[in-house]
Amino acid sequence: MHKRLKIKFLGLEFDSPLVLPAGVMDMSFSSLQEAIINGAGIVTSKSLTIEPRAGHQGPVVAEFEGGMLNAMGLCNPGIDDGLKEIEQFKKNFAAPVIVSIFATNANDFMQLAKKVDLSSAEFLELNLSCPNVFDEFGIPLAASPQQVFEIVKAVKETTSKPVIAKLSPNVHAIIPIAESAQKAGADALCLINTLGPGMLIDTRMRKPILTNKFGGMSGPCVKPIALKLIYEIHSKIELPIIGTGGVQSGEDAVEMWMAGASLIGVGTAIQHYGINIFSKIKQEIILFLEEQNYDSLMNVPKLES
Nearest to ligand DHB of 127, 271 (CB atom): 127
Catalytic, 190? Answer no
Report the C-alpha gap between 213 and 16 in whole angstroms: 37
Smallest distance from the beta carbon of 216 to ligand DHB, in angstroms? Answer: 4
Report the C-alpha gap between 130 and 190 in whole angstroms: 13
Smallest distance from the beta carbon of 286 to ligand DHB, in angstroms? Answer: 30
Nearest to ligand DHB of 132, 147 (CB atom): 132
Nearest to ligand DHB of 72, 263 (CB atom): 72
Smallest distance from the beta carbon of 295 to ligand DHB, in angstroms? Answer: 36
* Contacts (Cβ under 8 Å, ≥6 apart) of 242: 19, 21, 164, 188, 189, 190, 191, 261, 262, 263, 264, 265
Residue 304 per-residue DSSP state: P
Nearest to ligand DHB of 5, 164 (CB atom): 164
Report the C-alpha gap between 83 and 68 in whole angstroms: 28
The sign one gets for the Cα dihedral 74, 76, 78, 80 is negative
Report the C-alpha gap between 189 and 201 in whole angstroms: 34
Nearest to ligand DHB of 69, 95 (CB atom): 69
State the residues that interact with ligand DHB by CB under 6 A. 23, 70-74, 127, 129-132, 193-194, 216
- The single residue of 75, 130, 190, 221 carrying the catalytic annotation is 130
Smallest distance from the beta carbon of 127 to ligand DHB, in angstroms? Answer: 5
CB 179 within 8 A of CB 171: no
Phi, psi of 164 (to 5 degrees): -110, 125
Smallest distance from the beta carbon of 135 to ligand DHB, in angstroms? Answer: 12
CB 187 within 8 A of CB 237: no
- What residue type is 207 in one-letter code? K
Q: Determine which helix (DSSP H) or strand (DSSP E) holds 197, and give its type and residue range.
A: strand 195-199
Q: Catalytic site residues?
A: 130
